[in-house]
Amino acid sequence: MTDVLLKTEAIYKEFSGVPVLKGIDLEIVRGEVLGIIGENGAGKSTLMKILGGIYTPTSGQISFEGRPVTIREPSDAKKLGISLIPQEFNLVKDLTVYDNIFLGSEIRQRNGLLDKKTMMARTKSLLEELEVTIRPDERIDRLSAAEKQMVEISKAVAMDAKLLIMDEPTTVLTQYEIDILYRLMHRLKRQGVTIIYISHKLKEVKAICDRVMVLRDGEVICLEPIDKLSIYQMAERMVGRELSQIFPKKERAGTEPVLTVQNLTVPGVLENISFELNKGEILGLAGLVGAGRTEVAETIMGIRKHTAGEIILNGARLEIASPEDAVAAGISYLSEDRQGSGILTGFNVVDNITLVSLRAYCDYAIDLINSKRQRAAAQQHVERFNIKTQGLDTRLEFLSGGNQQKVSLAKSIDPQPIVLIADEPTRGVDVSAKQEIYRFIKSLADMGLSCLFISSEQEEIVGMCHRVLVMKEGRMMGVLSGDEISEAEIMFLATGVRETETLHE
Amino acid sequence: MSSNALTANFKKFNYEKYASLIALVVLFIISSILSPYFLQVQNILNILRQVSYTGIIALGMTFVIISGGIDLSVGSVAAFVGAVGIIALNYFLPIVGNEYIAVTIGIVVALLMGSLAGALNGFMITRGKIAPFIVTLGTMAIFRSLSLFIGNAGEVRSDSNLFGNFGMNSVLFLPVPVFVMLVLAAVLSVMLNQTRYGRYLCAVGSNARVAAYSAVNVDRIKFLAYTLIGLTVGISATLLSSRFNAVSTSNMGMFFELDAIAAVIIGGTPMTGGRGTIWGTVIGAIILGVINNMLNMLGVSPYLQGTVKGIVIIGAVYIQRQRA
C-alpha cells in the first residue's frame, strides 16, 4: 500500500490554442524524490507552475492527500503545503535571512512592531536543524548562490511544506554546493518531505531521485524507478522522436572558412572555444541552458570582453570592442532575448528593421534619414519574410511574437552581414512561423551567408545544421557532422555522458 | 489601405501629437474671453519673451529626457556661464578695444562654457555610470556655489551697452530670444525626427540594451545629449544676461530646471523617454507662460501661481497616463 501525496489526472494545458500539456497522469508517493526530465519546451515548467498555482490547467483534476483540490493561485498551493523554488530566487536581496523567511507571515509583538528576536531565534533553530551555517541576520545579497538556495529551502520548510518542487536547482551551484544540497535533500526526505526535482542533468537525477518521469511534447513518455533506466536510456527517451518535415533539405555547404574563432576565453564563462565557420554553412551551437552558447555570441559581438583568443573574419584578425565594431566588420547578431535586447516595442516596423543599418539610409554630413529609401527597404523585408502587420508604421507592440521575431531577423540581416549569429531564432513562435524562419535562414545560407545557429531545441539543430558544436559549462564537448548529428548524440555530449574522441587528440 | 492609413493618421492626430496644441488653443480662447487685453500683440510677445529663456533650455531638456535622463543643473549652470561670459567680455573689452569683438568673445565663451558644463555631466553619467539625477544634483550645487563665489554673491555687470542691447532687439518683429527659440526648435526638431542621431536617441531612451545590441554607441548618444543641453543653457544664459546687462549670481536661473522639465512634460514627452516632441515642448513652455499671464491679469496672488503650475504639470502627466 502506497501513500499517495499528490495525484494528477488528465491535466491539459493550452496557451492560446497551442497544447503544452496533453493529459498528464501522475502519482507522487509521500517521501519520495521524483525526477522530472525532458527537453526545453517539453512542459516540465508548465506542469510545475500548475502545481504551484501560477497557471491553472485548461482541464484535468488534481488531488492532494486523497482530496480533490483546485489550486488557483500561489497562496492556495502554500496553504496545501506545496512550495515551488523557481530557478530565479524569490528573495528580497536587501533584507536579512530571517526577514525573508518570515516575509508575508511576520511575527509581531503585542504593540504591532515586529518581533525580531523571536523570528531570529526561530530562523536560527531552523537553519541549525537543516545543518546550514548561515547567520540569520545576514543580508541576502551577501550570500552565495548555494546559500540563497538553502534559504529558499528553509523558507519552504518554515511553511511546513509537504511537497517541495525544485526547478533546475543546481544550475548556479558548484559541485561542493551541490553536495550540500544533496545532503539537505536526504535529510528532508527522512523528515517525510516529498520532493520533485526538475533537471537537465541526468547524472544528478540518477544520483538523487527514487523515480524518474520523462516528459516529451507535453506527454508522459515513461515513469519508472530510477534503477530501471540508465542515463543513456533517459537521454534516448527525452529526444526519441522522428524528425518532422518542417525542415528544408540541407544543401552542401562551402569549405572555405569565413569566420575562425581560436581559443576564445572569458574567465569563468568560456574556456578555449575554437571553431571554423565556412561559407554558406549553418554551424549549430548546442548545449543545455547555461552551457555558454549565448556567451560565445556575445563575446564575438564585443558585448563581453575576452582575455584570450582570436576572431578572424575572411583572413583578417578583428579587434571587436562593441557590437558597432562587429556589425561594421560584417557580423550580425539575432538576440535570444527578443524583448530585452532584440526589438524596440515602441518603434514601428520601419524604424526597427533599419535600426542596425541606419547609416546606409542617411544622406549628407548631418545624416539626414532618407525616409523613402528606408521605407522601400522595410517593405521588401515585410514581403520577403511575410511579416503580418497592419502597416509599416505599426508599432511592434501590436505584432504577434512570431512577426516580432521576423522583424528582429530582418533587422539583423538588413546590414547584409557576412556572418549571422542566430540565437534561439524560433523561441516563442508557433510552428508555421518556425518553418518560415528555417526557410529564410536556409535560403540566406544558400546565397553564401554563414550562420552560427544557437538553439536549445535539439530537433532544430539536427534539422538545420551542417555541423554541430556541443558545449557544456563554457567548454567545447565535441563537434558532430554529417550522419553523426542526432539528438541522442547531442544530448550525450551536452550532459557530459560522453565526449567525442576528436577532443582527446 | 489608404483610407485605413488615413484613419490611423487621424487617430494619431487627435490624441498623440496635437494634444498639447489643443490644450493651448483652448487656453487661448478662455484667456481672450476672460481678458480683452490678452490677445493684444504686445501681450502675446511679452508672454513669448518670458517663456523663451526657459523654453530654449527645455528644448535641450527634451533631448535629455528622451534619452531616459534628466538635468537638474541647468539653472545653476545658466548663472555660472552667464557670469563667466560677462567677465570674459569685460576682460577683453579694454584689450581688443572693439566692442563688437569683445561681445562676440563673451558670447562664445558663454556658449563654450555651457557646452563644457553639459559635457562634464555627460562624462560622469556615461563613463562614471552614475545616475543622471545624482550627477546633475551634484553639479547643480557646484555651479551655483561657483557662480556665487566669482560674483561674490552679488551682480556681475557688463561694461558694454552693446551687449545689453542685442538681446532686446527684434528680428522679423519677434524679440531676439523668441526668434532664437523658434529657430533652435526648428533645427532640433529636424535633428530629432529626421537624422540618425535623433533615431538613436529615441532607441537609447526606449531600451538602452536593445540599442547597444543594435550597434548603437549608447554612451556617445547620451554624452551628446548632455552637451547639447549645456549649449542651450549657454544660449539662454547669454540672452538673459543681455536683458539685464548683468547676472545676479544668487537669483539667475533659479527653478529653471523645474520650468524646463515642466514644459517638456506638458508638451507630451513622457518622463520614461524613448520618444518626444520638440514643438510640443515649445507649446508646453507657452502654456506655462499663458497661465502665468492669465493669473496676473485676473489679479490672482503671485504666491498662488506655483499651485496652479503644479496642478497643470500633474494633470498633464495624468492625462498622458490615460492615453498610454
* Predicted local distance difference test score (pLDDT) of residue A409: 94
pTM: 0.77
Task: Please check the confidence at residue A505 and state whether its pLDDT lies above 50.
Answer: no
The residue that leads in pLDDT, A500 or A19, is A19
C-beta atoms of B216 and A355 within 8 A? yes
C-beta atoms of A367 and B209 within 8 A? no
- For range A138-158, the mean pLDDT: 82
Q: Which residues contact B70 (CB under 8 A, 6 or more apart)?
A: B64, B132, B133, B136, B261
B14 located within any domain: no
Distance CA A467, CA A487 (A): 13
Give φ, ψ of A26 to 5 degrees.
-150, 140
Q: Which of B5, B197, B199 lies nearest to residue A351, judging by beta carbons?
A: B199
Distance from B265 to chain A by nearest Cα, in Å?
Answer: 18
B229 located within any domain: yes
The single-letter DSSP state of residue B50 is H
Per-residue confidence of chain B (324 residues) as pLDDT tens digits? 444 555 555 444 446 667 888 889 988 999 999 888 888 999 999 999 999 999 999 999 999 999 999 999 999 999 999 999 999 999 999 998 899 999 999 999 999 999 999 999 999 999 999 999 999 999 999 999 999 999 988 899 999 889 988 878 888 889 999 999 999 999 999 999 999 999 999 999 999 999 999 999 999 999 999 999 999 999 999 999 999 999 998 889 999 999 999 999 999 898 899 999 999 999 999 999 999 899 888 888 888 888 988 898 888 878 766 654
In chain A, residues with a C-beta closer than 8 Å to the C-beta of B211 are: 344, 355
Residue A242's pLDDT band, with cuts at 50, 70 and 90, is very low
Q: Which of A301, A342, A366 lies nearest to residue B195, judging by beta carbons?
A: A366
Distance from A357 to chain B by nearest Cα, in Å?
Answer: 9
C-beta atoms of A324 and B274 within 8 A? no
Beta bridge partners of B174: B171
Task: Please check the confidence at residue A504 and state whether its pLDDT lies above 50.
Answer: no
- Cα dihedral A54, A58, A61, A64, rounded to 10, equals 0
Chain A residue with CA closest to B274: the answer is A346
**Per the structure block, which three cell numbers stand in for A2?**
502506497
Question: Could you give the percent of chain A with pLDDT greater than 70?
Answer: 94
Q: Which residue has the cell 556575445?
A: A298
ipTM of the complex: 0.84
C-beta atoms of A359 and B196 within 8 A? yes
B156 located within any domain: yes
* Predicted local distance difference test score (pLDDT) of residue B4: 52
Residue type, B85: G
* Predicted local distance difference test score (pLDDT) of residue B1: 41
* Predicted local distance difference test score (pLDDT) of residue B11: 46
CB A174 within 8 A of CB A146: yes
Q: Smallest Cα–Cα separation from A24: which of A222, A299, A266, A192?
A: A222
Interior/surface letters A158-174, b for 16+ CB within 10 angstroms, e for the rest: bbebbbbbbbbbbebbe
The residue that leads in pLDDT, A205 or B188, is B188
B291 located within any domain: no
Task: Please check the confidence at residue A424 and state whether its pLDDT lies above 70.
Answer: yes
C-beta atoms of A322 and B217 within 8 A? yes
| Helix, strand, or coil (residue B79) | helix
Chain A residue with CA closest to B187: the answer is A366
Distance CA B74, CA B143 (A): 9
Residue-range definition of the domain harbouring residue B228: 55-255+269-276
C-beta atoms of B275 and A346 within 8 A? yes
* Predicted local distance difference test score (pLDDT) of residue A203: 81
B133 located within any domain: yes
**Per the structure block, which three cell numbers stand in for A197?**
526535482
Q: Which of B210, B218, B220 to mutate to test the interface with A (most CBs of A within 10 A)?
A: B210
Distance from A329 to chain B by nearest Cα, in Å?
Answer: 11
Domains of chain A: 4-239 (3.40.50.300), 247-330+418-505 (3.40.50.300), 340-416 (no CATH)
Q: Which residues contact B34 (CB under 8 A, 6 or more apart)?
A: B294, B297, B298
Distance from B66 to chain A by nearest Cα, in Å?
Answer: 13
In chain A, residues with a C-beta closer than 8 Å to the C-beta of B273 are: none
Residue type, B79: A
Q: Name the burial class of residue A192, with classes exposed (0-12), middle (13-18) and buried (19+) by CB atoms within 10 angstroms of its CB.
A: exposed
* Predicted local distance difference test score (pLDDT) of residue A435: 82
Distance from B269 to chain A by nearest Cα, in Å?
Answer: 14
**Per the structure block, which three cell numbers stand in for A426?**
524560433
Distance CA A430, CA A131 (A): 47
Task: Please check the confidence at residue A88 and state whether its pLDDT lies above 70.
Answer: no
CB pairs under 8 A between A and B: 76
CA distances from A8 to A58, A59, A62, A64 (A): 13, 11, 4, 9
CB B202 within 8 A of CB B66: yes
Distance CA B245, CA B90 (A): 12
* Residue A201: half-sphere exposure toward Cβ, Cα within 13 Å: 20
Distance CA B231, CA B223 (A): 13
| Helix, strand, or coil (residue A173) | coil
B213 located within any domain: yes
* Predicted local distance difference test score (pLDDT) of residue A148: 83
Q: What is the pLDDT of residues A451-491, one digit of tens each?
A: 999 988 788 899 899 999 999 989 999 999 988 898 888 88
To the nearest whole number, what is the mean pLDDT of chain A?
87
Task: Please check the confidence at residue A192 and state whether its pLDDT lies above 60.
Answer: yes
Report how many domains make up chain B: 1
* Predicted local distance difference test score (pLDDT) of residue A503: 45
B297 located within any domain: no
Distance CA A232, CA B10 (A): 63
Q: Which of B202, B207, B215 lies nearest to residue A323, judging by beta carbons?
A: B215
Q: Which of A369, A393, A395, A396 to mutate to test the interface with B (most CBs of B within 10 A)?
A: A369
Distance CA B145, CA B149 (A): 6
In chain B, residues with a C-beta closer than 8 Å to the C-beta of A344 are: 203, 206-207, 210-211, 274
* Predicted local distance difference test score (pLDDT) of residue A240: 65
Distance CA A13, CA B230 (A): 57
Q: Which of A324, A369, A391 lies nearest to residue B195, judging by beta carbons?
A: A369
B293 located within any domain: no
